[in-house]
Structure 1
Amino acid sequence: MNCLRVGTGPTLVLVHGFLSGLAYWEKQISLFSSRFDVVAFDLPGYGGKADVIGLDSVDGFADYVLERLDEMGIDQFHLMGHSMGGMIAQEVALKAPERVIGLVLYATGPMGSLPGRFESIEESIVRAETQGTEQVAHDTVKTWFSDGEGDPDFAGGMALAERVQTQTYINGLRAMAGWRSLERLNEIEAKTLVLWPDSDRSYMWQQTESLWRGITGANLAVVPQAAHNIHLEKTQIFNLLVLDFLQSDKVKQRRLALNECI
């Protein structure tokens, strides 16, 4: 299975990040689907679609998301993106501003070069090209958890990462490195929540602050003692913050305004 749609209500589209898949949302689906029509699918090259080579541009991934939603007959929707998926979500919001109602961006940023990352993207690419992805993927996923390999969700994260082909791994890094939205953030019209785990080793505060200050009217939530996979480590806090935002009056007003324009 590489696509999931469950629940009733306004549509909420979930876009996963690098080396992951729709299985990453296991701790969100039950609660979110009680309030939303939740849609999640594996991006090309990841999860249940790991048999194909992943795309090498964030723009291409954004087009893929929009095409899938068109196929499903989904016009307007809330959108949540994690990590590389947050970059893809930004691009979707820029490409189709009239379709995105509420936008949640977490553990992500507007600079694909990932300044301050535990190792540079270029270093990770060289390691993958010369050594394969087994060790570099392990080192990457380990940084996504505060307790590293000791986190109970580490094994699941590694299981998804190990599915990814070497060329998909390299393409994903190149997609991020070649992308940037920093100068376009003020063009995002969706009501936005920027959520940052303060122990993230992939996206530093500089990235989060740029999103928060660059997107007009964006809200900010900082969660202490949480690493990159905050939705797994601090599930209850994360879920409540997301639901509170998406059900807020400001997001409802955005939805009403969009409907009046149709």
Structure 2
Amino acid sequence: METMEADERLVPLALGDMTYACRLLMPRHRSGTEPLVLIGGALQDMYSWPRLERRLTTHTALVLMDLPGTGGAGDLAASAGFEVLADSVLHALDRLAMDRVNVLGASYGAPIAYRLAQSHPDRVARLLLAGATPRVGPRLTAVVRQGLELVGTTDSHPADEPARRDYARNVVDMLVNGATRNEVAQGPAVARLLERQLMRTSQSAALRYAACHERLLDTDLYPPGGIDGVPALVFTGEHDCASSPEENRAVADTIAGCAFALIRDADHMAHLEREAEYADLVTRFLHDRPVHDLPYCTDPRTSPRRQR
């Protein structure tokens, strides 16, 4: 594995009554591209990408976010939408004195990154969206509602272990496609890792995850009007059933000139399953190199539909 040669700085942030933070990783050599802001999923924080950050920081400066309501950041009002989170990213860029950046939004982070590029295209050099869907589908909605019901249990009457394990396995079956797990690189191992993580989650952390997931429900995740003038790439694993290839393609179609890629033998957790390939795809796009006809990607025109 490539080793990281980067200087790290933790930057505390505040916007109104919201407190949050970011990690800035600066390579010790010139990168040749704008810094990459990585906005992760609802179950992730700014320390959740160690293997990927080691690969990426050999090519670019990296900014990892704990936005309000995630990780170690302060709480986010239930009424606050993705626009508030996009404003939080913009405020962080101002604090860091970064005029233009590349932005990667993964899963829950994708609607945030999209809004930033749509409302401030002058600040986004390149946009990457991983695991994007215009609207949460019925199967994932059912899993999210199961989690909301589970964390509604008070601390004095916690949910029993069988109920928690059933929920954890349902979440894992969405993130690591249960129907095609043996076709996914490291699929069983990643599934076990995620289930252990979910079973160890504290009640307070589970409440925060639930609040993030509830923000995804019953709404169109991408505002009308699309994006023009920002080079963009939308991608996911070919077996993704949390945000299917067709749904990712639908998001890509709202962005003028957007590239689209499906990583072979991977699903929604492609950054864990095919870490080196994920990093290579991102790095290629950041340095304006071709991202079509790659040996680790499936031709999107011939990729079979994956059942949701």
TM over 0.5: yes
Corresponding residue of 1:177: 217
Q: CA RMSD in A?
A: 3.0
SS at the partner of 2:36?
Answer: strand
**Which runs of 5 or more structure 2 residues have no equivalent in the other structure?**
1-9, 11-20, 182-186, 291-308
Contact 1:46 1:163 in 2 (8 A): no
C-alpha distance 227-193 of structure 1, shift in aligned 2 (>3 A): same
Superposed, which structure 2 residues align to 1:93-242 within 5 Å?
A: 93-111=117-135, 113-117=136-140, 119=142, 121-130=144-153, 134-135=164-165, 136-137=167-168, 139-141=170-172, 143-145=174-176, 146=181, 147-148=187-188, 151=191, 153-154=193-194, 157-158=197-198, 162=202, 165-177=205-217, 179-182=219-222, 184=224, 186-242=226-282
SS in 1 for 2:75: coil
Give the match's secondary structure for 1:23: coil
Q: Which residue of 1 aligns with 2:294?
A: none
CA distances 1:51-100 after superposition (whole Å, capped 9, x unpaired): x3345422221111111221121221000011001111111111211100
Q: Identity over the aligned pairs, expressed in percent?
A: 21
What is the CA-CA distance between 1:102 and the residue it aligns to? 0.6
Residue 89 (1) aligns with residue 113 (2) = yes
Distance change >3 Å, CA 107–CA 55, structure 1 → 2: farther
Partner residue, 1:14: 38
Q: Offset at 1:247?
A: 0.5
**What is residue 14 of structure 2 aligned with on the other side?**
none
TM-score, normalization: structure 2? 0.70
Q: 1:149 to 1:233 in 2, by over 3 A?
A: closer
Q: Does 1:27 align with 2:51?
A: yes
The one-letter code sitting in structure 2 at the alignment partner of 1:247 is: H
Structure with more of its chain in helix, by fraction? 1
Q: Residue 225 and residue 6 in structure 1: after superposition, are their counterparts in 2 closer, same or farther (change >3 A)?
A: same
1:27-53: CA deviation from partner (whole Å, max 9, x where unpaired): 22122112211111212233233xx33
Q: Partner of 1:220: helix, strand, or coil?
A: strand
Using CA pairs under 8 Å that are at least 6 residues apart, name the structure with larger relative contact order, 1 or 2: 1
* Correspondence 1:68-79 to 2 at 5 A: 68-79=92-103
Who is 1:58 aligned against? 82
Contact 1:45 1:53 in 2 (8 A): yes
Equivalent-residue separation in structure 2 for 1:159 and 1:123 (angstroms): 15
Structure 1 contact 28–239 (Cα < 8 Å) conserved = yes
Question: Aligned letter for 2:240?
Answer: D
Bigger Rg over Cα: 2
Q: 1:198 to 1:118 in 2, by over 3 A?
A: farther
Give the C-alpha shift of residue 208 in structure 1: 0.8
* TM-score of the two chains, using structure 1 as the length reference: 0.80
Contact 2:190 2:273 in 1 (8 A): no
Say whether the 8 Å CA contact 1:13–1:77 is kept in structure 2. yes
Residue correspondences, number: 248
Q: What is the identity, as a one-letter code, of the residue corresponding to 1:139?
A: N
Q: What is the CA–CA distance in structure 2 between the aligned matches of 1:185 and 1:25, rounded to whole Å?
A: 32
